[in-house]
Structure 1
Amino acid sequence: MSYPGYPPTGYPPFPGYPPAGQESSFPPSVPPGQGFGVPPGGAGFSGYPQPPSQSYGGGPAQVPLPGGFPGGQMPSQYPGGQPTYPSQPATVTQGTHGTIRPAANFDAMRDAEILRKAMKGFGTDEQAIVDVVANRSNDQRQKIKAAFKTSYGKDLIKDLKSELSGNMEELILALFMPPTYYDAWSLRKAMQGAGTQERVLIEILCTRTNQEIREIVRCYQSEFGRDLEKDIRSDTSGHFERLLVSMCQGNRDENQSINHQMAQEDAQRLYQAGEGRLGTDESCFNMILATRSFPQLRATMEAYSRMANRDLLSSVSREFSGYVESGLKTILQCALNRPAFFAERLYCAMKGAGTDDSTLVRIVVTRSEIDLVQIKQMFAQMYQKTLGTMIAGDTSGDYRRLLLAIVGQ
């Protein structure tokens, strides 16, 4: 797939994304077996919010969420003490629902004119920019960019860059990149220069669909003239490298039907590769977690819980460490509830001192037309506060205004 005119004129190679050497603090430092929504004591399978067995991207339907954590208690790493979950399950709209939808009566030339006026003369009308950018789909933003060049003979991105700076600039640039290019760009940045942003590699490669991954691989080659798999091999090592290379193939089974016999057999194999032996057979975990469909993995996790009297997430914590542990757990979390995974990533980007703005921007932008509605719902359920409230408390100025407009606050 080609992206004419990319890398776009006006973008520096990787404007401030993420600052060199600044590693995300995700996941937070918690005792073994308690990360990623796993309740203390390792009894965590039922603790991670689980969606119904429908696939993501299906038709909208009102479905109940499960009752919550064992004994109605939330894990200790959640803020606000130990509040109980509501006795009646909440409902969540299942399916593909972003907070940004294509604008009706869209006129690219008119929007280009609004942006031109907002940047003309002294000062910048940031509110006018926010009003346009936050209320158009990515496809519509590409049309605005083309209309701007047609009408004024100037590059919209260059003009925006000259008017903006810091986090606001990074957010605007991200919104104007085509989604596949943005993912490829983020991966390239994560491996460029000294050090590697492993959390970015995990977040993108372990959560995207087969089609998305294949398009990212093609875009990475066409736009940066590099082979993504080779870059991963040169920047990572060991079992983490093998997991990411597996993810790069975009060959996960996407059949939505569940083979319960296979789930039982896989659960047994995983137990024998980990808890049931001295040492760990890492290749067995890699093979099953890299190839099985998400619904199939969910069934395997249920079978494992029944058989081992321990959930698979906590077993992975006991058997692995470092980035391969994070990658394997990310796959399992996406099998359980992809919006809950992104909700936790957002929370960790903002909790404590300082904000991981690059992660905040990347998730809000990449999920804004896919499942940000569900992410917001899971965020409120998991942390007893809204995503908008936390963003408002952690950001400021036009950057905050645009983020809140995107999340629909």
Structure 2
Amino acid sequence: MSYPGYPPSDGYPAFPGYPPTGQESVYPPAGQYTYPAVPGGYPPAGGGTYPAAPPSTGFPGAGYPAPGGYPGAPQAGGMPPYPGGAGFGVPPAGPGFGGYPQPPAQNYAGGGPAQIPGFPGGQAPSPMPGPPAAMVQGTQGTIRAAADFDAGRDAEILRKAMKGFGTDEQAIIDVVANRSNDQRQKIKAAFKTMYGKDLIKDLKSELSGNVEELILALFMPSTYYDAWSLRHAMKGAGTQESVLIEILCTRTNQEIREIVNCYKSEFGRDIEQDIRADTSGHFERLLISMCQGNRDENQTVDYQKAQEDAQRLYQAGEGRLGTDESCFNMVLASRSFPQLKATVEAYSRIANRDLLSSIDREFSGNVERGLKTIVQCALNRPAFFAERLYHSMKGAGTDDSTLIRIVVTRSEIDLVQIKQMFTQMYQKTLATMIASDTSGDYRRLLLAIVGQ
């Protein structure tokens, strides 16, 4: 698919400060890849390895105590409500996996814990529906299409904001932060029709630094921005592996196929060849698998298959000397996200350890981070992006490219849920942390996108 006018005749230069020196290659920071415990103190101090048994069963004889049998165990109905607003007002059905937050139980059709053969409860259930597609792909963005949209009027506002001495940045912010990406493309086309000038060139001449990077990202078509980010992650010396993981391991099949096609048409390059040239080993194979865009997207969960996959993963890792990496790649790259969630639950019962912990023990480096990203997206995709945002601003300095990329790419998909998970996980709002970590027009535009 071709994007008219992309890139502009003078090209998109590398964004200022991109890549962030010494930051992308080390994400997540050493020792910081554990996820905050859910409110109420679970998992208990020093525990962390209790499998995610539904409190209503306890699974006697499965190798861990029934509810109430260990310190800090949540009692039925006793977990405090999650903060964060609509959709997160109830506790999850059971403890998290390794402390990773779980979405609310009622968002998943069918309800109740899976019954697995060999456990009290007896028979395997018939396949049950998984979460609706909206829950898998994200359910609500902070930016929606403006109802009374007029591309010509907006183009005129932007022209006046940049004409003459000085720039009216607030007028630019008011337009771009309150229009959908599709509407911004129409504004760009109207601007060229009305004034015979390229809007992107004019914006670049009026802006600089992080606010320029943010506004240019907002005016890129969504698929082009993902393809552009992947190209720049592999261009030149060094590779920003965390960018490859963040995009390729979290997008839907359709999004990945469109990205692969856009990468070819806009940059004249084959993304698989670039990946092979820039990565190696099991990490390379995982990314190549992701590029196929062939993950099963059937929303029905087969709990018998989940049990079999969990057993397969256990035998490929914890249950043997050494690791069969290809087995992990096959299961995590091909199963649907709802199916993987059921597999993670079954794995905890078999291994007496959550799958994230096992991946920690069996893998290292980039392939470990890639596999964990897939599991985290199966458990709670907004929580994964909330954690990425937190680490982009935590500590000295800000990883502005990651902050911008996530805010822009999720702004029309699930940024509302990401904000809710951010508050739940870190006891502060995303807007508060952005306000304390950024400044000027850059801060104002980010806050306008994120919302208070």
Report the TM-score when normalising by structure 2.
0.80
Question: Are residues 105 and 10 of structure 1, via their aligned partners in 2, closer, same or farther at CA, if it must alter by over 3 Å?
Answer: farther
1:181 — aligned with what?
224
- Which of the residues 251, 262, 265 maps onto 2:294? 251
Question: Are residues 69 and 382 of structure 1, via their aligned partners in 2, closer, same or farther at CA, if it must alter by over 3 Å?
Answer: farther
Q: How far off its partner does 1:69 sit?
A: 9.0
Write the distance in 1 (CA, Å) between the matches of 2:288 and 2:231. Answer: 15
Write the distance in 2 (CA, Å) between the matches of 1:63 and 1:361. Answer: 25
Q: Deviations over 1:323-362 (max 9, x none)?
A: 0000000000000010000000000000011000000000
Give yes or no for contact 1:118–1:126 (8 Å, CA) kept in 2. Answer: yes
Q: How far off its partner does 1:131 sit?
A: 0.2
Question: SS at the partner of 2:447?
Answer: helix
2:437 — aligned with what?
394
1:23 — aligned with what?
23
- Amino acid paired to 2:416: V
In the alignment, structure 1 residue 123 sits paired with structure 2 residue 166: yes
Q: How far off its partner does 1:41 sit?
A: 4.6
Question: Are residues 191 and 224 of structure 1, via their aligned partners in 2, closer, same or farther at CA, if it must alter by over 3 Å?
Answer: same
Q: What runs of 5+ residues in structure 2 fail to find an aligned partner?
A: 38-42, 54-85, 109-133
- Which of the residues 327, 331, 346 maps onto 2:389? 346
Write the distance in 2 (CA, Å) between the matches of 1:256 and 1:66. Answer: 23
Q: How far off its partner does 1:2 sit?
A: 1.7
2:338 — aligned with what?
295
2:148 — aligned with what?
105
In the alignment, structure 1 residue 35 sits paired with structure 2 residue 41: no
Write the distance in 2 (CA, Å) between the matches of 1:173 and 1:68. Answer: 42
Give yes or no for contact 2:51–2:349 (8 Å, CA) kept in 1. Answer: no
- Amino acid paired to 2:246: E
Give yes or no for contact 2:411–2:449 (8 Å, CA) kept in 1. Answer: yes
Q: After superposition, where does 1:111-150 map in structure 2 within 5 Å?
A: 111-150=154-193
Question: Are residues 44 and 373 of structure 1, via their aligned partners in 2, closer, same or farther at CA, if it must alter by over 3 Å?
Answer: farther
Question: SS at the partner of 1:369?
Answer: coil
Question: Are residues 99 and 235 of structure 1, via their aligned partners in 2, closer, same or farther at CA, if it must alter by over 3 Å?
Answer: same
Q: How far off its partner does 1:385 sit?
A: 0.4
Give yes or no for contact 1:11–1:158 (8 Å, CA) kept in 2. Answer: no
1:81 — aligned with what?
none
In the alignment, structure 1 residue 162 sits paired with structure 2 residue 199: no
Question: SS at the partner of 1:221?
Answer: helix
Give yes or no for contact 2:141–2:415 (8 Å, CA) kept in 1. Answer: yes
The structure whose Rg is larger is 2
Question: SS at the partner of 1:240?
Answer: helix
Write the distance in 1 (CA, Å) between the matches of 2:17 and 2:256. Answer: 21
Give yes or no for contact 1:9–1:157 (8 Å, CA) kept in 2. Answer: no
Write the distance in 2 (CA, Å) between the matches of 1:188 and 1:107. Answer: 33
Write the distance in 2 (CA, Å) between the matches of 1:123 and 1:378. Answer: 40
1:50 — aligned with what?
none
Write the distance in 2 (CA, Å) between the matches of 1:68 and 1:302. Answer: 12
Write the distance in 2 (CA, Å) between the matches of 1:90 and 1:252. Answer: 25
Q: Deviations over 1:344-388 (max 9, x none)?
A: 000000001100000000000000000000000000011000000
Write the distance in 2 (CA, Å) between the matches of 1:237 and 1:44. Answer: 35
1:234 — aligned with what?
277
Q: Deviations over 1:170-202 (max 9, x none)?
A: 000000000000000000000000000000000
Q: Deviations over 1:87-124 (max 9, x none)?
A: x9999995521000000110111101100100111111
Q: After superposition, where does 1:50-69 map in structure 2 within 5 Å?
A: 62=87, 64-67=89-92
Q: What runs of 5+ residues in structure 1 fail to find an aligned partner?
A: 48-60, 79-87
In the alignment, structure 1 residue 14 sits paired with structure 2 residue 14: yes
Write the distance in 1 (CA, Å) between the matches of 2:325 and 2:428. Answer: 38
Q: Where does structure 1 differ by over 6 angstroms across 4 or more consecutive aligned residues?
A: 88-93
How many residues align structurally?
A: 383
Q: Deviations over 1:274-316 (max 9, x none)?
A: 0011110000000000000000000000000011110000000
Q: Deviations over 1:142-197 (max 9, x none)?
A: 00000111111111000000010010000000000000000000000000000000
Write the distance in 1 (CA, Å) between the matches of 2:396 and 2:433. Answer: 13
Write the distance in 2 (CA, Å) between the matches of 1:291 and 1:46. Answer: 23
Question: SS at the partner of 1:244?
Answer: helix
Give yes or no for contact 2:248–2:287 (8 Å, CA) kept in 1. Answer: yes
Alpha-carbon RMSD across the aligned residues, in angstroms, is 2.7
Give yes or no for contact 2:52–2:345 (8 Å, CA) kept in 1. Answer: no
Write the distance in 1 (CA, Å) between the matches of 2:298 and 2:18. Answer: 36
Write the distance in 2 (CA, Å) between the matches of 1:404 and 1:45. Answer: 39
Question: Are residues 367 and 297 of structure 1, via their aligned partners in 2, closer, same or farther at CA, if it must alter by over 3 Å?
Answer: same
Write the distance in 2 (CA, Å) between the matches of 1:258 and 1:159. Answer: 51
Give yes or no for contact 1:17–1:189 (8 Å, CA) kept in 2. Answer: no
Q: Quick one: percent identity of the two aligned structures?
A: 77
Question: SS at the partner of 2:322?
Answer: coil
Write the distance in 1 (CA, Å) between the matches of 2:7 and 2:51. Answer: 43
Write the distance in 1 (CA, Å) between the matches of 2:274 and 2:416. Answer: 34
